[in-house]
Chains A and B, each alone.
Chain A
Amino acid sequence: MYITWMLAEGHTYKQMLPTTPGVFMGEMIVVTVVGADKPGIVAAISSVLAEAKANIVDISMTVLRGFFSMIMVVDISGAVTDLTDLRDRLERKGDEVGVKVMVLHEDVFRYMQKI
């Protein structure tokens, strides 16, 4: 469903897929959406990313603090806005649709999870 929607929003399969299996290139951020599940959330958040020309390269679903959550790995190396601006837009959009959006740089995960 997300893939169909993202294609409709102008993402290409190539942009969505890692260039080498299991390895992403470019500067990555991790966008987390936490909140009660309801229609339109994925569309709202993805549209902000698409407008900024940021590519979603991976999406996973998990439960954070008992809430259904969506975690997206996003390539921002071709983005037309800087990270601070993108974070503001994502957080504002999150407020509009009633979810919490968190944006972290991939470096944080690489430093903390990999030796």
Chain B
Amino acid sequence: MTKYDASELAEIIEMLSFQHLDIRAVTMGINITGALRYDDLGEGVREIVEKHARGLRDAVKEVSSKLGVQIVTKRVAVTPVSVLLDAKAGDLNEAVRLGVSVAEALDSAAADLGVDYVGGYAAFVESGYSLGDRGVMESIPEALSSTERVTAMVNAASTLSGINMDAVYEMGSIVKETANLTGGRGCTRLGVFANAPEGTPFVPGAYHGRGEEDPVINVAVSGPGVIENVVRSLEDADLRTLHDAMKRAAFKVTRLGELVGREVANRLGVKFGSVDLSLAPSPAVGDSVADVLRAMGVEEPGAPGSVLALAVLTDAVKKGGAMATSSVGGLSGAFIPVSEDLGMAEAVRKGSLTLSSLEAMAAVCSTGLDMIVLPGDVEEHVIAAIIGDVMALGIVLDKSLGVRLIPVPGAREGDEVDFGGLLGKAPVMPVGRFSSKALVMRGGVVPPTVSRLMKG
């Protein structure tokens, strides 16, 4: 063992004890296509998930106990369910019925295994649909309303294929319908993505990709409190110095993720996949990306300079994280959710943070528009247009971005909505008076940009 000086020990103890540094999620990726061998698809899915994830709860508990590090959630990510429906369903009705039964099987397996979320109720429709994709999309409202732990995602755009605007428009309706069936809550488990990457440990973006080991462990870290503390200690530092200090802190945060991922994987005898080095905030005081921006010198997130500050932060996190692990995965950037970040919600209350400023910030973060509460009467085409904006950023900038919008039935602009726990609370945001209905109703596919041609 190397010897440490007191300040090295104290720094880590401060991070873990007072700056909310923890492991946000340990996510096991599982290929569930073997369920096709079973007559009852739901039963097959349940058996396969239980076989692989049976030891997950204990392994996570043991590693947490050994290291003294808190691991907040355990998750499972499965093969996109559309793949199963393609193989098993003869028509759309059957696809919808089977989809819901798979969602319910995943939900009950998760409850039995002590798993907090199961991701992978997913369809990839960036350039068109299969029967399974349609089955998943049509059944999302019912699947989410009849489960507690299943998360759904639809990849509607990619740099290679462009944007499927028909799917984007449909997702406007699906978000609304899910909200109506669940009082808005179901939409906390529903995301629309551009370039959704494999190996994401975060929900709702998590799914088990074709290129991944089966099973595999992916890890998500937290850490905004650590970065904020570093920034606050460097009040007069110039931006290069600040960037360097944030990078060093991000290195340490990511190392913790790597350690925990390897330990859990070892205990389970499965392969360690990757660390998503994104700094995930939580609704706790001192665990906020917004507070990092404030510490950097932005009076309130949303003010001019917010994109600049977030870009510096994101780059520092990526560079520090890349040095810390050779297994970078998932979204890996900075998260800017609203309700899940106390400081972001506060900036909305103060009238500083708006949809437009969040859209601009999405260009330099990694999640896009996340956990944004909208009025219950927001129209479907408005939701679709917001999704379309983020999909456009995704394909033009060739990056992964997502949209998680939560219209809450009966809620009006300024009302406070509380989802509880890690999901947090936030005021309902205004959507503006003007719309692009005619644009989104044109439908069709937005062709890929020249980025596609640069790929050969």
Query: Measuring CB to CB, which residues of chain A are less than 8 angstroms from any residue of chain B?
Result: 18, 22-26, 28-30, 32, 34, 58, 60-65, 69, 71, 73, 83-84, 87, 102-114
- The chain A residue with its CB closest to the CB of B9 is A71
Partner of B68, one of A73, A105, A110: A105
Q: Is the CB of A84 within 8 A of B65?
A: yes
CB distance from B386 to the nearest CB of A (A): 39
Mask, B1-21, CB within 8 Å of A = 1, is 111111111111111111000
Binds A, one of B253-261, B306-314, B404-412: B253-261
B454 interface contact, C-beta 8 A: no
B252 interface contact, C-beta 8 A: yes
B438 interface contact, C-beta 8 A: no
Size bin of chain B's contact surface: 20 to 34
CB distance from A108 to the nearest CB of B (A): 5
Report if A108-B69 is in contact (Cβ < 8 Å); known contacts: A24-B1, A113-B4. yes
- Rounded to whole angstroms, the CA-CA distance of A104 and B65 in the bound complex is 9
Residues of B within 8 A of A113 (CB): 4, 8, 11-12, 252
B453 interface contact, C-beta 8 A: no
Q: Is the CB of B14 within 8 A of A65?
A: yes
Residues of A within 8 A of B258 (CB): 111
Q: Is the CB of A30 within 8 A of B67?
A: no
- The chain B residue with its CB closest to the CB of A105 is B67
- Rounded to whole angstroms, the CA-CA distance of A84 and B62 in the bound complex is 9
B66 interface contact, C-beta 8 A: yes
Q: Is the CB of B6 within 8 A of A23?
A: no
Q: Is the CB of A104 within 8 A of B8?
A: no
- The chain A residue with its CB closest to the CB of B21 is A112
Q: Is the CB of B13 within 8 A of A64?
A: yes
Best-surrounded residue of B67, B68, B259 (most CB of chain A within 10 A):
B68
CB distance from A87 to the nearest CB of B (A): 7
- The chain B residue with its CB closest to the CB of A61 is B6
CB distance from B369 to the nearest CB of A (A): 32
CB distance from A40 to the nearest CB of B (A): 22
Partner of A62, one of B3, B7, B17: B7
- Rounded to whole angstroms, the CA-CA distance of A24 and B18 in the bound complex is 28
Q: Is the CB of B1 within 8 A of A104?
A: no
Kindly list the 3 A-B residue pairs having the minimum CB-CB distance in the complex, ordered from nearest: A60-B6, A104-B68, A24-B1
Residues of B within 8 A of A60 (CB): 5-6, 9
Q: Is the interface of B mostly helix, strand, loop or mixed?
A: helix
Mask, B60-89, CB within 8 Å of A = 1, is 000001111100000000000000000000
CB distance from A100 to the nearest CB of B (A): 8
Best-surrounded residue of B3, B5, B8, B13 (most CB of chain A within 10 A):
B13
Query: Measuring CB to CB, which residues of chain B are less than 8 angstroms from any residue of chain A?
Result: 1-18, 65-69, 252, 255-256, 258-259, 263
CB distance from B328 to the nearest CB of A (A): 16
- Rounded to whole angstroms, the CA-CA distance of A62 and B256 in the bound complex is 23
Q: Is the CB of A64 within 8 A of B259?
A: no
Report if A108-B1 is in contact (Cβ < 8 Å); known contacts: A32-B13, A113-B12. no
**Given pairs A84-B66, A108-B256, A112-B256, 15 additional interface contacts (CB within 8 A):** A23-B1, A28-B1, A64-B13, A65-B14, A71-B9, A84-B65, A102-B68, A105-B68, A107-B259, A109-B8, A109-B9, A109-B12, A112-B12, A112-B259, A113-B12
Partner of A30, one of B9, B65, B69: B9
- Rounded to whole angstroms, the CA-CA distance of A32 and B10 in the bound complex is 9
Residues of A within 8 A of B9 (CB): 30, 32, 60, 62, 71, 73, 109
Residues of B within 8 A of A105 (CB): 66-68
- Rounded to whole angstroms, the CA-CA distance of A30 and B17 in the bound complex is 13
- Rounded to whole angstroms, the CA-CA distance of A106 and B3 in the bound complex is 10
Partner of A65, one of B2, B18, B69: B18
- The chain B residue with its CB closest to the CB of A25 is B1
Q: What are 14 sample pairs from A and B whose C-beta atoms fall under 8 A apart?
A: A18-B3, A60-B5, A60-B6, A64-B17, A83-B66, A102-B13, A106-B1, A108-B68, A109-B9, A110-B1, A111-B255, A112-B12, A112-B15, A112-B259
- Rounded to whole angstroms, the CA-CA distance of A34 and B17 in the bound complex is 11
Best-surrounded residue of B3, B14, B18, B263 (most CB of chain A within 10 A):
B3
Q: Is the CB of A108 within 8 A of B259?
A: yes
Q: Is the CB of B65 within 8 A of A87?
A: yes
Residues of B within 8 A of A63 (CB): 10
- Rounded to whole angstroms, the CA-CA distance of A107 and B252 in the bound complex is 13
Residues of B within 8 A of A103 (CB): 68
CB distance from A15 to the nearest CB of B (A): 15
- The chain B residue with its CB closest to the CB of A104 is B68
